[in-house]
Amino acid sequence: MDNRILAITAAQKAGRVLLKNFSKTNLAWHLKAQHEIVTKVDAGAEKIILSLLKKYTPSFAILSEESGFNKIKSDYLWVVDPLDGTTNFKVHNPLFSVSIALYYKGEPKLGVIYAPYLNDLFVAEKGKGAWLNNKRIKVSKTSELAKSFLTYCYGQEGKHMKRAVELYRYFKMKSVDMRQLGSAAIELAWVAAGRTESIVIPGTKPWDAAAGVLLVTEAGGKVTDFKGEPWRFVDKKTGEISLNVDLLATNGKIHEKILNHIES
């Protein structure tokens, strides 16, 4: 099976499981880290995705939010978030998604984000553009911060949350609005689709952003770390995976304006 079709099939099958459980009022959950919850639905969706990936690409490495790294040595790496926006899901907020990306030697080649409740399927392939429900998407042309809609998210550690709050306090007053939507994958996809102008994330987890960064760049946007370097979570020399990499994704027009404040 073609990798693009494989990723889309896996995301949609997992999405149907999420939708089936979305309306349940007694959904069991527990804290796996401070400010981060997990449900049985996360594991169920992940099982569906991983079974398909292992069946059709058994030699590929896999990094998944709930199961971790399968430690297979391969130039190819699947990066999976079976339910991005678990807290949204738990409180019946429809902004949740499935995110699947394929990397080759540390570089993104394929990204799929599926928001099942919205029935939005975002797909990007390296050099082939970004798409939403089979229609080509592009980042917005907004170049003024005062006319921009911004979003933010943060990693697990307290320092990430503090940094995010500081950025929120500043940019909330400088833009039309700055909000936390609760699903980094969707927030990245919305930058790619021109719905928002940027997302800033101190301490990004790879599975939250791996698919979305390709969507943004293929849609004409820009993605860097907080030093302005290309965003990556796999070290080119060692192949080591980093789990907390700061991320700024924008339409490219306001990137330096946001980055300048972060650097200062």
Show me where the domains of the chain are located: 3-136, 145-263
Angle, helices 3-22 vs 40-56, to 10°: value is 160
- Quote helix, strand, coil % in the chain, to nearest 5: 35, 30, 35
Write the CATH number of the domain with boundaries 3-136: 3.30.540.10
CB 152 within 8 A of CB 168: yes
The residues, any chain, with a CB within 8 Å of residue 175's CB and separated by 6 or more, are 145, 146, 147, 148, 149, 150, 197
Fold classified for 145-263? D-Maltodextrin-Binding Protein; domain 2 (3.40.190)
pTM (predicted TM-score): 0.94
CB 139 within 8 A of CB 252: yes
Which residue is associated with the tokens 């990066």?
Answer: 79
**Going residue by residue through the chain (264 aa), what tens digit of pLDDT does each one get?**
899 999 999 999 999 999 999 987 666 665 665 556 667 788 899 999 999 999 999 999 999 988 888 989 999 999 999 999 999 998 899 999 999 999 999 999 999 999 999 999 999 999 999 999 999 999 999 999 999 999 999 988 889 999 999 999 999 999 999 999 999 999 999 999 999 999 999 999 999 999 999 999 999 999 999 999 999 999 877 888 888 999 999 999 999 999 999 988
Backbone angles phi, psi at 73, to 5 degrees: -85, 115
